[in-house]
Chains A and B, each alone.
Chain A
């Protein structure tokens, strides 16, 4: 039972110009599953490893359960970590792997075995307890790594891309199992991934990082409906948001010659800005194909069965530009068709500083 707190925590690698993690401020509530997400090199793993004590915090501090652990070694932090490649001890059996931390803590043998058996039962590993890691499948290894973490009953779970070595189908299945397990155990969890779908489906809250800077931390729904800046808008959502530099249409931002329906309050905030620097974003599901709107030609149709994504090339700022529109499944539209695209939902506007312009 613990909350986690990063207070202006930075990590500057020796010899590097820019810090890998820059003045990170983050509060994670007790029992919460917080996902750190971002493209590779964004500092998400470094941030996690700072919490683990595997990376030096060069300035700022890290707290677990109100205790400043910034300078404590990993073993004194009461945390458990699941690694991307699982890091199972190859010379030990599954049971020994899971019981290793308890053995280090000098927990009596009987109690240790009971706890290992309990964890194995939860994770459906009972029949594999005597096997060595090399004789397990990828999914089983992943579960052993989980088991090694939960046996310890730590204050915080740290997970560094624990599902990225599984194949696609198993990954989706394990994802839901993991969320369920975390909710049942109620242990605060920090989860790192580069996969925004994983982040959105698993996190109570999601923290988006880029170049070591925290971009936004919010519930998945908020990240999706109200991205704080251009980066988050483009990063979250699949397929990605249509994000374009605006066109000046009669003094208001527009796309491909068409003015965008915007609220007065937004327009007034844009008054002082150069419209060429303003970006507009519309999610594919908030565009419709119809009889009115921007004219263009269909170049690609992606059929997914339940829905389809139609790529429409329009002329925007004098260049051919693609807009992705969500259509129903079994769409009649085909490549080469001339269609019209209209707005059918919320439109995101980002000022010249890249930040969201709120209505």
Chain B
């Protein structure tokens, strides 16, 4: 019995040693992540708290009045604010249309590219390129060289068929911006869908073929469900970026009305000369809340994706 007692005493000290080692190991594992974590929190999360605070104040930078705490008055005024309502409505239309159309176009492009043909690599590279182009340049290029009534290629083609020229950017500002956004984002969607198509389990498709499934049937019943996470990922990333569009609007529409979304309007009302930091902050918070809703759905998708990742 004495030997049992001594060995159990040794076991306790051993367990303490193990625990000490594991604690140190835990820190060794956590330490490398801290710089990135702290940097991200300081630069992105803390300013957000400031915005939240500003949104509860009446604060104009162009007047000497001190910042005044007014509670939720800014938010209360939003429903009656026509400019805000217009900007919010533009934001919704622009985001939904741009995401939807680029997803559809991107998926079709991916299906076309997902087969062997002469020059496949070259065409894929050409199709990717719009995504890489600087948004400011994309906007300028479409505005002056495609949409323009006198020198624009689109109007030149219209004239060929006997139609009159249209100054697209002025007549249809929202549609013009969406066209350029779709042109830039379809390639992105295409790449994501392509990754899904080429990563799919071929043996399942072959089994379906053996079971006598038609091309369309196996696409609808096997490929599409397998593509779903990729389509969701594309929608999520696309929505997150497209809700924030600014560059295209600045270049294509500029100060004209008709296609100002919330981010554009917020910048205009605050830093861009409006100087109403309190009110503009409340707009910002609305955009953030909308994004949080999208992100929440999105994060659920992403967490499903990570589930199988051991």
Chain A: which residue is nearest B10 at the CB level? A61
| Interchain nearest-CB distance for B177 vs A (Å) | 48
B14 touches A70 (CB 8 A): yes
* B17 CB contacts on chain A under 8 angstroms: 71
- Count residues of B near A (Cβ-Cβ below 8 Å): 7
- A182 sits at the interface (CB 8 A): no
A56 touches B11 (CB 8 A): no
| Interchain nearest-CB distance for A28 vs B (Å) | 21
| Interchain nearest-CB distance for A61 vs B (Å) | 7
Chain A: which residue is nearest B7 at the CB level? A8
- A59 sits at the interface (CB 8 A): yes
How long is the Cα–Cα vector from A61 to B7 in the complex, in angstroms? Answer: 11
| Interchain nearest-CB distance for A46 vs B (Å) | 15
| Interchain nearest-CB distance for B77 vs A (Å) | 52
How long is the Cα–Cα vector from A60 to B13 in the complex, in angstroms? Answer: 11
- A315 sits at the interface (CB 8 A): no
User: Considering the complex, which residues of chain B in the window 11-36 have a beta carbon less than 8 Å from any beta carbon of chain A?
Assistant: 11, 14-15, 17-18, 21-22
B21 touches A58 (CB 8 A): no
User: Considering the complex, which residues of chain A in the window 117-174 have a beta carbon less than 8 Å from any beta carbon of chain B?
Assistant: none
| Interchain nearest-CB distance for B148 vs A (Å) | 54
How long is the Cα–Cα vector from A59 to B17 in the complex, in angstroms? Answer: 10
Residue among A58, A61, A70 having the largest count of chain B Cβ atoms under 10 Å: A58
* B11 CB contacts on chain A under 8 angstroms: 59-60
User: Considering the complex, which residues of chain A in the window 36-79 have a beta carbon less than 8 Å from any beta carbon of chain B?
Assistant: 56-61, 70-71
B21 touches A56 (CB 8 A): yes
How long is the Cα–Cα vector from A61 to B11 in the complex, in angstroms? Answer: 9
Chain B: which residue is nearest A73 at the CB level? B21
| Interchain nearest-CB distance for A185 vs B (Å) | 33
Chain A: which residue is nearest B12 at the CB level? A59
* A56 CB contacts on chain B under 8 angstroms: 18, 21-22
How long is the Cα–Cα vector from A57 to B21 in the complex, in angstroms? Answer: 11
| Interchain nearest-CB distance for A295 vs B (Å) | 45
B14 touches A61 (CB 8 A): yes
* A57 CB contacts on chain B under 8 angstroms: 18
Chain A: which residue is nearest B17 at the CB level? A71
How long is the Cα–Cα vector from A134 to B21 in the complex, in angstroms? Answer: 37
* B21 CB contacts on chain A under 8 angstroms: 56, 71
Chain A: which residue is nearest B25 at the CB level? A56
| Interchain nearest-CB distance for B27 vs A (Å) | 16
* A61 CB contacts on chain B under 8 angstroms: 14
How long is the Cα–Cα vector from A84 to B286 in the complex, in angstroms? Answer: 55
| Interchain nearest-CB distance for A143 vs B (Å) | 30
Residue among B17, B18, B21 having the largest count of chain A Cβ atoms under 10 Å: B18
* A58 CB contacts on chain B under 8 angstroms: 15, 18
Return 17 A-B CB contacts under 8 Å, by A number: A56-B18, A56-B21, A56-B22, A57-B18, A58-B15, A58-B18, A59-B11, A59-B14, A59-B15, A59-B18, A60-B11, A60-B14, A61-B14, A70-B14, A71-B17, A71-B18, A71-B21
List 9 A-B pairs, minimum CB-CB distance, nearest first. Answer: A59-B11, A58-B18, A56-B18, A71-B17, A59-B15, A59-B14, A71-B21, A56-B22, A56-B21
Beyond the given pairs A59-B11, A59-B15, A59-B18, 14 more chain A to chain B contacts, judged by CB atoms under 8 angstroms and listed by A's residue number, are: A56-B18, A56-B21, A56-B22, A57-B18, A58-B15, A58-B18, A59-B14, A60-B11, A60-B14, A61-B14, A70-B14, A71-B17, A71-B18, A71-B21
